[in-house]
Amino acid sequence: MSDGVGGGVGAETSAGSGGDENAVAAPMPSIRGVPVTDVSAVAGAALWALAAVAGGLSEVERALALAPLVVVPLGIGLAAERGFDGTPGALLAVVAVTQPATAPFVLVSLVASAELTATLAAAAWVPVTGLMALAGALRARERGFAPNRLSETLVDAGLAYTVVAAVALVLFHRGVTFWFHPVIVLLTAVHFHFAGFALPVIAGVTGRHLGGFEGLARTVAGVILVGPAIIAVGISFSPLVEVVAVGAFTLAVAAFGLLALVRVVPTLDPRSGPLVGVSALALPASMVLALGYGIAAFSGTNPLGLGVGRMVSLHGSLNAYGFALCGVVGWRLVNRPTSA
């Protein structure tokens, strides 16, 4: 089989919880047959739209609010579609029930004027994301980390990364920024909701659809798995590590977008295919902006001719709306009946 990105799929095998293509889904709570995660996402979208129309949120804050209200519940639903049983499945079911009650507090934290109110509101999101991380970690430990189980490891990593985003948001509101500018701490919360949660989960679901990753595609998936953490380390301690990590991550994400366009989108139905296609197309453009930011931070040059604020704004919008939102909605529509 080819080692190229276009053909490097189909090598993953089943083994243990989360590795079986036919493994049972988590017993997700539902409301009249509709998964509570989908109901939560619809309600969250309405709340987000009201907040966006009302004003008072910056572009970065609007993108950040979208994650817990819409992207995360849909991503939880995607994660639960295969191989979540036992304790990890029970934990994910608890997350599905508690997420709708706690996600709006992230929005409250972004509009609250008092530091204590904002901090306490943001803190409500930490226990839920902590349970997500625990579910992912336990599932990964039970299943193992063999390369032929990479699709499910990506899903587990996405669940685990989200707690970093929640903690970063609390630190931002509390004014604990260490040696960073406050906006960097806020952007860390954004980074780990989208590059940390949405990207690995969507990549994992893509791997499920393709039957796994092999060859170059497996390398691409591996970079997506560890990239968000390495970039964060680079931002924290080394501009050189940051620019190298961002460069590798940019190439991997662009290659993943190509893989999705070539191997996945043509196999999807007319409802989900266009959304997954838009999601895949948004990735290379978004990553070019991230690379430009990394080069600017390391060298002091401005290769894209855009201000840092504009690069951050465009990157965040492409990630939030083009990639993450279209991606999770598109994948949730895959093989869904058009009527009850």
Residue ranges per structural domain of the chain: 30-333
Closest by CA position to 64, among listed 114, 134, 117, 118:
118
How confident is the model at residue 24, as a pLDDT?
Answer: 53
Supply the mean pLDDT for the chain: 86
How confident is the model at residue 337, as a pLDDT?
Answer: 54
At 340, the pLDDT band (50, 70, 90 cuts) reads very low
At 339, the pLDDT band (50, 70, 90 cuts) reads very low
Give the mean pLDDT of 295-318. 72
Give the mean pLDDT of 152-172. 97
Between these two residues, 295 and 260, which has the higher pLDDT value?
260
Question: CA triplet 88, 90, 91: central angle to 5 degrees?
Answer: 65
Percent of the chain with pLDDT over 70: 84
Give the mean pLDDT of 255-279. 95
At 28, the pLDDT band (50, 70, 90 cuts) reads confident
Cα→Cα distances 129→49, 61, 139, 339, Å? 23, 19, 15, 32
State the DSSP H helix or E strand holding residue 204, giving kind and residue range, or none if neither.
helix 199-210
Percent of the chain with pLDDT over 90: 59
Q: Is the pLDDT of residue 27 over 70?
A: no
How confident is the model at residue 75, as a pLDDT?
Answer: 98
CA distance 92 to 136: 9
How confident is the model at residue 175, as a pLDDT?
Answer: 93
Least confident of 58-67, 174-183, 185-194: 174-183
pTM score above 0.85: yes
Q: Is the pLDDT of residue 217 over 70?
A: yes
Q: What is the pLDDT of residues 75-119, one digit of tens each?
A: 999 999 887 888 999 999 999 999 999 999 999 999 999 999 999
How confident is the model at residue 303, as a pLDDT?
Answer: 66
Burial bucket for residue 24 (CB in 10 Å: 0-12, 13-18, 19+): middle
The rounded Cα 236 to chain-centroid distance in angstroms is: 21
Give the mean pLDDT of 215-220. 92
Q: Is the pLDDT of residue 247 over 80?
A: no
